[in-house]
Amino acid sequence: MKKYLIILLPVLLFAFACDEDTISDKQSESFIKYYGGNIKDEGMRVVTLDDGGYLIMANMEIPNRNKDICIIKTDKYGNSFDTANFYGYFLNDYGHTIKKNDQGYIIAGSAEKPGKTIKTNILLVQLDKKGNYLWQDTISSTNNQVAYDLLVLNDQSLVMTGYTANENSIKNMIFVKTNSSGKLLQSIKEIGYPNSDEVGYSIAQTSDGNSFVLAGYNTGKTSNIDSKRIFIVKTLGVGTPIPLATNYDEVASAVALVPQENNNFIVLSNVESNDGTFIKATKILVSNDIKVVWNKTYEENNINLVNYAYAKDNKVYILGTSGTESFGSMLLLEINSDGSSPLYHYIGDGSSFSGNGFDFTSDNGVVITGANNINGTSLITLIKLKSNYSLK
């Protein structure tokens, strides 16, 4: 079953100022808003605040400042009610994920810091419950390191995955554990093989709390061509890898992990083929080893990309892009927890949108962030959908 929302939108540039028009409660059920408009601006994640408003974590390219993490707070209508705040240092800084903790919200990403040589460090930024800045810090190393995903444990300590790259630019997946203030509790664990790249995009905890599952990709030979392959790792609680599970048959990378009951997980991957790119959902059981329970694929269009996934009410919600390689329409794909009954929702004009993060709203709707590419400039985009995931 399909639902198409084809929206032709004019170019609208917002400078982080509140809209002056009065908006009714009915209009708050759905809207599209844009922010930024400098060069390359992109919403990465969005969370619903306790007051019904929204907090957007974006990456913004600013003249004379390179890339910075940008935080935009809005009311329930999507109107920004104060100036945007920027975090990071003086070179290129990126936010990749944001998670809720006892203090408020914590961001993980990367920051370039100047020195004798420019090094990329893991960057953490802590916000309070209203989205206001508390602190930021980096985890430094002799290698370049990036955090793509973050998990907040019950004791408020943090575990992360991403990658570290040595002087030869060979990448290894990493397991990082810190206290609630971002201070390392143990040495960073590197996971991978000597002469191939491994990158972690997602991390989740097993139901028993004793171990973790990391998902991403490693590179290897497919038809004598270096390619990405799904790479899944089970680790002990301190990050020591146990068994590895790898898919050698497809050019693919695992982007998101969705925990299920009894140490089951659904892995969402982007798979490249001669006909385009499709989304693959793989249910795995993690016990003494990693067993594949089932595989399902979703390829309604030529290009289908997943960037984020979330489980709720026995369903899995998959957000990404459907269209060209980088832009098209935002794709919100619903599947049952067994991978059945896919329901496709397309938001955009089919050529310029991409979706990166979403959250459920206080009125059972959905709010999505991403980007809209117009004449080579991308705008931070916020879209509120009604409970039927429609703008109408």
Q: What is the pLDDT of residue 168?
A: 85
Q: How far is CA 274 from CA 250, 251, 300, 304, in A?
A: 11, 10, 15, 13
Out of 4-18, 187-201, 353-367, 370-384, least confident range = 4-18
CA distance 113 to 93: 9
Residue 296 tokens read as: 């399902």
In a domain, 266, yes or no: yes
CA dihedral 57, 103, 175, 89 (to 10 degrees): 50
Q: For residue 248, what pLDDT band results from cuts at 50, 70 and 90?
A: low
Q: Is residue 390 part of a domain?
A: no
Q: Check which CATH number belongs to the domain holding 223 and give it.
A: 2.120.10
| Helix or strand (DSSP H, E) at 216 | strand 211-222
Closest alpha carbon to 205 in 268, 152, 146: 152
Residue 350 falls inside a structural domain: no
pLDDT, position 174: 96
| Mean predicted confidence (pLDDT) in 72-79 | 93
Size of the chain in residues: 392
For 254, how many CA atoms within 13 A lie in the half-sphere containing its CB? 36
pLDDT of residue 18: 30
Strands 343-348 and 2-6: parallel
Print the domain residue range for 39. 2-18+31-324+375-385
pLDDT digits (tens, 9 = 90+) for 291-301: 999 999 999 88
Give me the pLDDT at residue 110, please: 95
Considering its fold, how many domains does the chain have in total?
Answer: 1
Classify residue 370: in a domain, yes or no.
Answer: no
Beta bridge partners of 371: 354, 380
| 244 occurs within a structural domain | yes
Report if residue 74 sits inside a domain: yes
- Cα 137 from chain centre: 21
pLDDT value of position 27: 56
Residue 184 amino acid letter: L
* pLDDT for the residue 11: 35
Mean pLDDT (the chain) is 86
Give the range among 62-66, 88-92, 233-237, 282-286 with minimum mean pLDDT: 62-66
Place of tokens 């083929």: 273
pLDDT above 50: residue 13: no
Distance CA 148, CA 145 (A): 10
* Average pLDDT estimate for 228-252: 80
E-assigned strand segments in 114-170 = 119-128, 133-139, 144-152, 158-165
pLDDT over threshold 70, residue 261? yes
217 three-state secondary structure:
strand
Q: Tokens at residue 36, please?
A: 């930024």
> Would you say residue 219 lies in a domain?
yes
> Residue 203 falls within a domain, yes or no?
yes
Using DSSP's 3-state secondary structure scheme, residue 28 falls into: helix
Residue, of 127 and 7, whose pLDDT is higher: 127
**Banded model confidence at residue 274, pLDDT cuts 50, 70, 90:** confident
Query: How large is the average pLDDT for residues 365-376?
Result: 91
pLDDT tens per residue across span 180-228: 999 999 999 999 888 889 999 999 999 988 899 999 999 865 444 568 8
Closest CA to 289 of 231, 245, 334, 355: 245
